Amino acid sequence: MQRLTQDIKSGQFNHIYLLYGAEAYLRKQYRDRLKEAMIGDDTMNCHYYEGKDISLGEVIDQAETLPFFADRRLIVLENSGLFKSGGEQIAEYLPALPETTFFLFVETEVDKRSRLYKMASSKGCAVEFAVQDESTLKKWILGMVKKENKKISENALQFLLEKTGTDMENIRKETEKLFCYCLDKEAITEADIEEICTKRIGNHIFDMVSAIADKKQKKALELYYELLAQKEPPMRILFLIARQFNLLLQVKELKGKGYSNKTIGEKTGLPGFVAGKYVVQASRFKTQEIRDAVEACVGAEEAIKTGRLNDNMSVEMLIIRYSSTGG
């Protein structure tokens, strides 16, 4: 990111930029900053292509066209999938780019073995925007809080992150809601966060599985009905329950091997501040119980797809089965 900031500040640009990674907010921020610095509001010399049905012949024709009363022609390709497959034609073309043409690729996922990725990283500037760690996210939130002349305690900050997750776009949206809600208040409290911030479906699922582990059947079913009321499809809920149990199985096995919470987080892709919660939740199940639950999720999906049970009933029976005191 420092490289991008330097290029924007100096006005000295690479002919090829690749912005990629799971953090969409940062990808979009730097996409827009680069575009503004390179071409400004010149719509005649800026061409934007999105999706996998891009005509590469048309893109190359545009690249070969001299800019109209300007120094640069910028071509932006977003979510093209070319860095996973089908990018050979562009990779072959890029070394012959005219001096006035610049490419900006923006992708969520890339295959680093692909010819196009190797070309972009060796001849241009490739920057990965990964999910940010807890420390970075906290500093970012504190910066926004300070700009609003407000305060937030460490506990409230931690609670906010647990509510929002690590997605920076979601964090930004929820903090803006908080600032509006706390307009006349100096400090943002946990009560404010609980009142105004939207609970992610992932948190709902985590709480539901916790209720199942504690044999709190009524609570587990209430959480399920809340998700249905929010128009979440039962099949998606089932997928997320299965994903939760799969994660718990991984966590349980890694903890059994003596790994620290931090290492478990790294191996499972869970943020550090979340991994500890999963370790605690996993400890409330026996390993075989988790394996059985994963298999039951597969069975529930099969029952739905074969028409033996409707989706709503199948998920409800799964929750009842594993939250029963006799289960």
pLDDT tens, position by position, 107-131: 999 999 999 999 999 999 999 998 8
Q: At what angle do helices 272-283 and 261-268 cross, to 10 degrees?
A: 100
Structure-block tokens of residue 250: 């991984």
Do the Cβ atoms of 147 and 122 come closer than 8 Å? no
Q: How much is the pLDDT for 2? A: 85
pTM passes above 0.85: no
Reference 124, options 105, 110, 109; nearest CA is 105
Task: Render pLDDT for 283-296 as a digit per residue (tens, 0 to 9).
Answer: 988 999 999 999 99
Question: In this model, does residue 86 exceed pLDDT 80?
Answer: yes
Count other C-beta atoms under 10 Å from residue 84's C-beta. Answer: 16
Residue 62: which pLDDT band, with cuts at 50, 70 and 90?
A: very high
Reference 236, options 165, 312, 292; nearest CA is 312
Question: In this model, does residue 211 exceed pLDDT 60?
Answer: yes
| φ and ψ at residue 189, rounded to 5 degrees | -110, 170
Question: In this model, does residue 152 exceed pLDDT 90?
Answer: yes
What is the SS3 assignment for 214? Answer: coil
* DSSP H helical ranges for 124-233: 134-147, 154-164, 168-181, 190-196, 201-213, 217-229
With residue 66 as reference, give the H or E element that holds it. Answer: none
Residue 27 CA to residue 132 CA, distance in Å, equals: 12
Residue 154 CA to residue 27 CA, distance in Å, equals: 28
Do the Cβ atoms of 163 and 197 come closer than 8 Å? yes
Taking the mean position of all CA atoms in its chain, how far away is CA 136? 16
- Domains of the chain from N-terminus onward: 2-128 (3.40.50.300), 134-196 (1.10.8.60), 201-323 (1.20.272.10)
Q: How much is the pLDDT for 327? A: 47
Task: Render pLDDT for 231-254 as a digit per residue (tens, 0 to 9).
Answer: 888 998 999 899 899 999 999 999
